[in-house]
Homo-oligomer: A and B are copies of this chain.
Amino acid sequence: MRLLIVNPNISEDVTRLIEAEARRTAAVSTDIFMATASFGVAYIETRFEALIAAYAVACAAGERAGSFDAMVVAAFGDPGLAGLKEVLDVPVIGMTEAALMSACMLGTRFSIVAISSRITAWYRETVVANGLESRLASIRHLSSPLRGVGSVQQDHADELLALCRRVVLEDGADVIILAGAPLAGLARAVADHLPVPVVDGVSSAVRHAESLVTLGVRPAVLGSFCAPPVKSRAALPASIDSLLMRAQARKP
């Protein structure tokens, strides 16, 4: 299968982190194609940045429409995810939803460890949008500013581990989610040092995408996730336009 992974941030170094973890996880038969948002910000922390990223991810998907069998939106917060599920006829998985689903199979309550204070409101709202707030034990975050988004794992190694231990001992977490694409792959590195299962969004998303393809699920032709109705539209970039046209073409 061909798996498209889109980094909704413009940071190429984060794309490389995502790709490395994705390749460690993917099946031999999975061909991975990486894309980086062609416009936007270095890393998304706020609702406005997510608004931009949602559009950038849609453009990236539209440019590659028809060339992949599943897609991963590789930023925590899942910018654009629900909309893309309507227009694409292949599985689209978000990093947050993937991590949440993995976590729910590993324990009753999970905590999220995040890279900044500002990002936590957006994460909380994403958990709520997934209907899983009753299973959220806590969200904790790094307290010092980032030196660079590509080196967070190295720069803040100790504090990240300390946060992980606190969510277990103080907040009652059964599972830890290391959140945000800049932390991609960290779960694998620190799993042996932590007392509960640790979930990584990228590898979870890769596996869930492969699963949905393997399970052979069909796209919706009715209900709230089928293609948007045909109607007049104007001034859309070709990438977005093609997503709508392709979606409407698959209508029964």
Contact = CB atoms under 8 A, between A and B. Distances in A.
Contact of A51 (B58, B196, B229, B231): B58
A87 interface: yes
A195 B130 CA distance: 23
Contacts of A101: 101, 104-105
Nearest to A104: B101
Nearest to A49: B228
Interface in A55-71: 55, 58
Interface string A213-239: 011111111111110110111111000
Contacts of A142: none
The interface size bin for chain A is 35 or more
A46, A85, A133, A172: residue with the most chain B Cβ atoms closer than 10 Å: A46
A38 interface: yes
Q: Which 8 A-B pairs have the closest CB atoms?
A: A121-B224, A39-B235, A48-B83, A195-B222, A51-B83, A207-B211, A55-B55, A101-B101
B91 A105 contact: yes
A93 interface: yes
B233 A215 contact: no
A162 interface: no
